[in-house]
């Protein structure tokens, strides 16, 4: 028999998202060759290993012992395959059985029919051999058989657990939508409760319901086998069962429980619902934990820490499943956040919810999240350090006050939905392309004329720019829409409100685009591909990183290896960083602003490019370019020319207009190129027309479309770009 082998193959099922925790448990039980799968984990080991899993696993649903596998593309093939198994090795003819049948991507789709076919094959074999047959008993049979048909391949297993292991045997009084015990255990393990308990920290559940989390916490802290109180397992009537081995393991578990419960730290569950408190008290008594788990009726606002050490507050609040639930539940989450910030500073907190948007109203930033599933509902376990460093502060200066929930109209709801939709689509693209900073929204809805950019480094930031409304738009309506947008944008994109910056984008005159708006000097490091840049969200209209030029920067990077590079009107030197990363043998970065050149040097140094081959030159680009062109020295293999639309700085000798002056500018730049050199010419003047006739003799390639990334395809006029070279 398979059970005589020292290393059988088993499969343990578990809730979705829990497989890694289950695998760690199985290894602790002595399992070998443990391999995770979406539905659980495969493992090898002795029967003792499987018994330990049945007794001790906090996260598993079932422990299965596969005994046969065969192709079953038809009901007849299924019958024949099951008939080939010697069932007298597993069950007496007078015993009882039950069959669980599931199917995926197979010709037998009706699970009840499949189960009947398996049952028929088994009982027909017994009738033919013994003259009697086992009977079917759905509850607590002597043998529970599991058949999984995948792509017409059947796996037949003995269900050693017999019933789902989440049923510990202590639940006397459930409440509406109780949390399953193995999911509760997974939440506690992910939240770091074993270490908190080992350090003597307490546990508080302020919305405990039927006390599933506090009871599981006590079982973990007290080294109690979760299934020690169960009377029935699937192996009880199985002929391969080894009662002496099982009894030894149960005795060992009983001794460990006795010793472990003496070390349980303070654990308490509170709830404001009288019926929930009654159910919790019954369940605690059923688990034999009356001396270790305190249950009390108490309102959320009356919560206070337990014990003399910081501990863990863990909570599974209601999160709603219907439209409109957010509005009714938001005050509950806000109150929870207030309690945490006022009463539980220094503690850890973990919140399990199927509505992470509601969790944003806590006023505390989550330091980590895990994805878990409550049945079919995708949920998040959010981890918090209740520390002032993680508290969400007031809005940034200059950010308009958001509208109150009751003042948010259907248009703002459409805006929020559009933002979420755009983010879902762009996140997949961004992850694939290695992009961390991108435009999420660009006046997609005309009534809400904003550009919304998401920046990511060690945190997430929002840079929101309003396109100034024309005079024909009612000023009061425009202001109301701004306030609505301020209310929904950070929540829809999952960014703390204090990480949102707001500006109004007007038609710029002269050097206004680059002039200071504030003087906070707050720089944030963000990522772009494998490079890092410093951005400033508050002091200037632009942040220091033109997101639309990302593909152009990559084009430069791909074309400069071993070549010399010139960056004119360099701004913060981002193109120079890309050139250095692409292997340019030298880079020259030129801008008239001392501030921007210093910023460019910091960007280069941040990425490790600070050698003498990288020069930074403060100069009027027009004057410098004309002077170098007249000198006739062809110094550069690649030149990047991205001038402003118009400039009339006091430090310039004359004004500059890109439409009027671009021919002269391009000719000067071309004069600095080596014979096979390339000029990348770009600008963001929407009405710009390149004078190709005046530039005859040059090879001109319009590469604008190639330099518009996915996040800017809603507005392809964001910039123009050409590649120019000599014939």
Give the integer Cα–Cα distance in Å for 543 and 536: 5
Give whole-number Cα distances, 398 to 316, 402, 461, 517, 546, in Å.
36, 12, 15, 10, 22
Q: Write down the pLDDT at residue 512.
A: 44
Q: Do residues 373 and 434 both lie within one domain? A: no
Quick one: pLDDT band at residue 115, thresholds 50, 70, 90? very high
Nearest to 31 by CA among 7, 63, 13: 7
CATH number of the domain bearing residue 624: 3.40.50.150
667 has a pLDDT exceeding 90: yes
Q: How is 73-99 classified by DSSP, letter by letter? A: SSHHHHHHHHHTS-GGGT--TT-EEEE
Quick one: pLDDT band at residue 408, thresholds 50, 70, 90? confident
Strands 135-136 and 96-104 come out as parallel
Q: What is the mean pLDDT of residues 152-180?
A: 88
Give whole-number Cα distances, 490 to 104, 282, 502, in Å.
41, 43, 12
Q: What is the mean pLDDT of residues 282-292?
A: 95
Residues 720, 723, 726, 727, CA torsion sign: negative
* Structure-block tokens of residue 558: 């791909």
Give the integer Cα–Cα distance in Å for 698 and 691: 12
Give me the domain span that covers residue 332. Answer: 181-224+258-390
331 has a pLDDT exceeding 90: no
Q: Do residues 356 and 501 both lie within one domain? A: no
pLDDT digits (tens, 9 = 90+) for 45-96: 999 999 999 999 999 999 999 999 999 999 999 999 999 999 999 999 999 9
508 has a pLDDT exceeding 50: no
Give the integer Cα–Cα distance in Å for 716 and 714: 6
Give the integer Cα–Cα distance in Å for 53 and 72: 30
CATH number of the domain bearing residue 435: 3.30.750.80
Q: Among 59-73, 528-542, 561-575, which is the least confidently predicted range?
A: 528-542
Instruction: Single out the residue in 159, 190, 210 at which a domain terminates.
Output: 159
Give whole-number Cα distances, 723 to 347, 554, 571, 666, in Å.
58, 14, 20, 11
Q: What is the mean pLDDT of residues 23-33?
A: 96
Q: Do residues 475 and 558 both lie within one domain? A: no
Give the integer Cα–Cα distance in Å for 270 and 267: 10
Q: Do residues 214 and 299 both lie within one domain? A: yes
Residue 341, domain member (yes or no): yes
Residues 694, 695, 700, 706, CA torsion sign: negative
Quick one: pLDDT band at residue 360, thresholds 50, 70, 90? confident
Residue 247, domain member (yes or no): no
Most confident range (mean pLDDT) of 252-261, 313-322, 423-432 is 252-261
Q: Write down the pLDDT at residue 327.
A: 59
Q: Write down the pLDDT at residue 511.
A: 44
Q: Do residues 153 and 190 both lie within one domain? A: no
Share of the chain above pLDDT 90, in %: 75
Q: Write down the pLDDT at residue 142.
A: 96
Q: What is the mean pLDDT of residues 157-180?
A: 86
Residue 167, domain member (yes or no): no
In terms of DSSP H, where are the helices of 521-675?
550-557, 574-581, 594-606, 621-631, 658-671
DSSP 669: H
Give the integer Cα–Cα distance in Å for 266 and 204: 9
List Cβ neighbours of 447 (8 Å cut-off, separation of 6 or more).
411, 481
Q: What is the mean pLDDT of residues 305-328?
A: 77
Nearest to 366 by CA among 346, 353, 388, 350: 350
696 has a pLDDT exceeding 70: yes
Residue 317, domain member (yes or no): yes
pLDDT digits (tens, 9 = 90+) for 377-401: 899 999 999 987 777 655 566 788 8
pLDDT digits (tens, 9 = 90+) for 427-466: 999 989 989 999 999 999 999 999 999 999 878 899 999 9
Give the integer Cα–Cα distance in Å for 642 and 89: 81
Q: How is 421-467 classified by DSSP, letter by letter? A: HHHHHHHHHHHHHT--SEEEEESSSTTS-EEEEEEEBSSEEEEEEEE
Residue 328, domain member (yes or no): yes
| Residue 5, SS3 per DSSP | coil
362 has a pLDDT exceeding 90: no
406 has a pLDDT exceeding 60: yes
Number of domains in the chain: 4
573 has a pLDDT exceeding 60: yes
Residue 426, domain member (yes or no): yes
Distance of CA 475 to the CA centre of its chain: 39
List Cβ neighbours of 176 (8 Å cut-off, separation of 6 or more).
none
Quick one: pLDDT band at residue 473, thresholds 50, 70, 90? confident
Q: What is the mean pLDDT of residues 258-277?
A: 95
Quick one: pLDDT band at residue 651, thresholds 50, 70, 90? very low
Q: Do residues 97 and 59 both lie within one domain? A: yes
Give whole-number Cα distances, 4 to 7, 10, 233, 244, in Å.
9, 14, 20, 15
Q: What is the mean pLDDT of residues 468-481?
A: 83
In terms of DSSP H, where are the helices of 287-406?
325-343, 356-359
Q: What is the mean pLDDT of residues 193-209?
A: 96
515 has a pLDDT exceeding 80: no
Q: Do residues 208 and 136 both lie within one domain? A: no
Residue 278, domain member (yes or no): yes
Q: Do residues 578 and 652 both lie within one domain? A: yes
204 has a pLDDT exceeding 80: yes
Do residues 523 and 536 make contact, with C-beta atoms less than 8 angstroms apart? yes
Q: Do residues 476 and 569 both lie within one domain? A: no
Give the integer Cα–Cα distance in Å for 54 and 61: 9
DSSP 298: -
| Residue 374, SS3 per DSSP | strand
Burial profile 79-107: b = 16 or more Cβ within 10 angstroms, e = fewer: bebbbebebeebbbbebbbbbbbebeebe
Share of the chain above pLDDT 70, in %: 93
Give the integer Cα–Cα distance in Å for 567 and 616: 10
232 has a pLDDT exceeding 80: yes
Quick one: pLDDT band at residue 15, thresholds 50, 70, 90? very high
Sole residue written with tokens 């009982």:
123
111 has a pLDDT exceeding 60: yes
Instruction: Single out the residue in 390, 423, 438 at which a domain terminates.
Output: 390
Q: Do residues 335 and 288 both lie within one domain? A: yes
Q: What is the mean pLDDT of residues 248-259?
A: 97
Q: Write down the pLDDT at residue 404.
A: 77
Q: Quote the mean pLDDT of the chain.
A: 91
Instruction: Single out the residue in 108, 126, 159 at which a domain terminates.
Output: 159
CATH number of the domain bearing residue 140: 3.30.2130.30
Residue 173, domain member (yes or no): no
323 has a pLDDT exceeding 50: no
Residue 647 bridge partners (DSSP): 656
Length of the chain measured in residues? 727
Q: Do residues 565 and 693 both lie within one domain? A: yes
Higher pLDDT, 202 or 541: 202
Q: Do residues 190 and 320 both lie within one domain? A: yes
């Amino acid at each position: 028999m398979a059970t005589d082998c020292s290393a059988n193959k088993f499969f343990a099922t578990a809730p979705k998202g829990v497989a890694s925790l289950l695998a760690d448990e199985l290894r602790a039980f002595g399992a070998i060759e443990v391999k995770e799968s979406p539905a659980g984990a495969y493992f090898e080991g002795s029967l003792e290993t499987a018994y330990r899993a049945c007794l001790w696993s906090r996260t598993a649903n079932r422990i299965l012992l596969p005994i046969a596998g065969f192709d079953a593309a038809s009901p007849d093939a299924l019958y024949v395959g099951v008939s080939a198994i010697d069932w007298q090795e597993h069950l007496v003819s007078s015993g009882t059985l039950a069959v669980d049948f599931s199917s995926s991507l197979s010709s037998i789709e009706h699970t009840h029919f499949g189960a009947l076919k398996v049952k028929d094959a088994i009982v027909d074999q017994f009738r033919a051999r013994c003259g009697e047959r086992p009977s079917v008993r759905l509850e607590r049979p002597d043998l529970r058989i599991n058949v999984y048909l995948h792509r017409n391949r059947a796996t037949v297993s003995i269900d050693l657990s017999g019933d789902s292991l989440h049923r510990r045997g202590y639940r006397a009084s459930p409440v509406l939508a109780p949390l399953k015990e193995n999911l509760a255990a997974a939440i506690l393990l992910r939240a770091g409760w074993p270490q908190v308990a080992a350090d003597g920290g307490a546990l508080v559940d302020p919305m405990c319901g039927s006390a599933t989390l506090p009871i599981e916490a006590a079982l973990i802290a007290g080294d109690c086998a979760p299934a020690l109180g169960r009377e029935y397992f699937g192996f009880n009537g199985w002929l391969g069962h080894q009662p002496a081995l099982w009894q030894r393991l149960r005795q060992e578990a009983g001794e460990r429980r006795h010793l472990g419960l003496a070390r349980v730290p303070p654990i308490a569950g509170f709830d404001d619902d009288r019926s929930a408190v009654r159910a919790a008290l019954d369940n605690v008594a059923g688990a034999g934990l009356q001396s270790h788990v305190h249950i009390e009726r108490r309102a959320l606002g009356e919560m206070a820490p337990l014990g003399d050490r910081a501990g863990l507050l863990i909570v599974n609040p209601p999160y709603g499943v219907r439209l409109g639930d957010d509005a009714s539940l938001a005050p509950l989450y806000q109150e929870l956040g207030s309690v945490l910030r006022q009463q539980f500073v220094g503690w850890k907190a973990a919140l399990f919810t199927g509505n992470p948007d509601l969790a944003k109203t806590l006023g505390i930033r989550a330091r980590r999240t895990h994805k878990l599933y409550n049945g079919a509902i995708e949920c998040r376990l959010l981890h918090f350090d209740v520390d002032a460093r993680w508290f969400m502060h007031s809005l940034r200066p200059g950010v308009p006050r958001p509208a109150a929930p009751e003042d948010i109209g259907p248009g703002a709801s459409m805006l929020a939905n559009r933002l979420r939709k755009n983010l879902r689509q762009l996140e997949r693209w961004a992850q694939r392309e290695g992009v961390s900073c991108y435009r999420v929204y660009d006046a997609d809805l005309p009534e809400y004329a904003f550009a919304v950019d998401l920046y990511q480094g060690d945190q997430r930031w929002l840079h929101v720019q309003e396109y100034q409304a024309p005079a024909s738009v009612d000023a009061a309506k425009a202001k109301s829409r701004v306030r609505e947008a301020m209310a929904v944008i950070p929540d829809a994109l999952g960014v703390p409100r204090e990480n949102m910056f707001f500006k109004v984008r007007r038609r710029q005159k002269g050097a206004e685009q680059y002039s200071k708006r504030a003087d906070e000097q707050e720089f944030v490091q963000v990522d772009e591909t494998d490079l890092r840049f410093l951005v400033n969200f508050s002091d200037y209209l632009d942040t220091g990183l033109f997101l639309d030029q990302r593909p152009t920067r990559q084009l430069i990077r791909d074309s400069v290896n071993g070549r010399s590079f010139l960056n004119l009107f360099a701004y913060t030197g981002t193109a120079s960083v890309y050139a250095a990363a692409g292997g340019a043998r030298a880079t020259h970065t030129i801008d008239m602003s001392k501030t921007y050149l210093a910023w460019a040097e910091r960007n280069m140094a941040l990425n490790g490019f600070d050698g003498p081959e990288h020069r930074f030159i403060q100069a009027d680009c027009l004057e410098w370019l004309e002077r170098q062109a007249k000198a006739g020295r062809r110094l550069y293999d690649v030149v990047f020319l991205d001038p402003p639309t118009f400039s009339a700085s006091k430090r310039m000798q004359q004004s500059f207009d890109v439409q009027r002056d671009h021919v002269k500018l391009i000719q000067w730049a071309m004069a600095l190129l080596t014979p096979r050199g390339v000029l990348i010419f770009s600008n963001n003047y929407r009405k710009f027309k390149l004078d190709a006739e005046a530039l005859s003799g040059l090879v001109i390639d319009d590469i604008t479309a190639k330099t518009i990334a996915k996040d800017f395809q809603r507005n392809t006029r964001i910039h123009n770009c050409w590649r120019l070279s000599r014939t």
